[in-house]
Amino acid sequence: GAVVSQHPSRVICKSGTSVKIECRSLDFQATTMFWYRQFPKQSLMLMATSNEGSKATYEQGVEKDKFLINHASLTLSTLTVTSAHPEDSSFYICSANGFGTRVNEQFFGPGTRLTVL
Amino acid sequence: DAKTTQPTSMDCAEGRAANLPCNHSTISGNEYVYWYRQIHSQGPQYIIHGLKNNETNEMASLIITEDRKSSTLILPHATLRDTAVYYCIVRVASRGGADGLTFGKGTHLIIQP
């Protein structure tokens, strides 16, 4: 149990376009989902915390108008990178908090590799 | 959350126990020690966590010193598939999963055949 999926796994787009990444909890409901970004040879950096039915909370330095987060249901959160530029190329990973006795664990998706040309 | 210190990299022979240390000398009484790992180009995977008692599950064992200022993750019989970056994270676990994780640089464990 506690499987998180992401779609797409890889995307290549032109500069200036917008890209949407989906994060789904497949076999459980997640009250909170998180979005991370990882540049090559670096660690994961938390971008934002997403709660179902409310506005996301962004970490310092992350532009909320550029990285739009929608958490419309307990099993789906989306991250839209608007007007993407080459510096937005990165590995984007979502996670969801667990449930019951595992509520403080986070279950991660497989990641989405974004390349902006 | 308290800061952690881990070695940058470690090697271990296949089939042997891999012991990964983590220092967290500023840990608070209500902070847990969590371990995650990230295999190359994948999302992180939860391994184990503990407060002060030693813990064991099907993946690993976690040994926490009595003063809680350091801990060791033990993979009892390392395989090539255990090659990954291992992250030791200290965090409060009383907010119902509401907080994101702060990842340090982790330890790159390389299992040698």
* A54 part of contact set with chain B, CB < 8 Å: no
Contact state of A43 with B105 under an 8 Å Cβ cutoff: yes
Q: pLDDT tens-digit profile of B51-62?
A: 998 999 999 999
The answer for residues whose C-beta is within 8 angstroms of residue B14's C-beta and 6 or more apart is: B78, B79, B80, B111, B112, B113
Q: B-chain residues within 8 Å CB-CB of A111?
A: 41-43
How confident is the model over A49-62, as a mean pLDDT? 91
**pLDDT band at residue A29, thresholds of 50, 70 and 90?**
confident
Name the residue in chain A with its Cα closest to that of B93.
A104
User: How far apart (Å, rounded) are the C-alpha atoms in residues A37 and A92?
Assistant: 5
Q: Which of A56-60, A70-74, B46-50 has the lowest mean pLDDT?
A: A70-74
Mutation site for B-interface testing, chosen from A41, A108, A114 by largest number of B Cβ within 10 Å: A108
Average pLDDT, chain B: 93
Q: Which one of A43, A77, A79, A107 would you mutate to disrupt binding with B, by most B Cβ within 10 Å of its Cβ?
A: A43
Tell me the average pLDDT of chain A.
93
Chains A & B: contacts with CB separation below 8 Å: 65
Q: CA B95 to CA B15: how far, in whole Å? A: 39
State the Cα–Cα distance between residues B91 and A43, nearest whole angstrom: 17
- Does residue B92 surpass a pLDDT of 70? yes
- Give the one of A45, A91, A107 whose C-beta lies nearest to B46's C-beta: A107
Residue A106 confidence (pLDDT): 87
Q: In the numeric block, which tokens belong to residue B103? A: 């990842």
Query: Residue B83 and residue B93: Cα distance in Å, rounded?
Result: 28
The strand pair at A112-116 and B107-112 is best described as unpaired
Q: How far apart are CA B90 and CA B69, in angstroms?
A: 11
Once rounded to an integer, what is the mean pLDDT over residues B102-106? Answer: 94
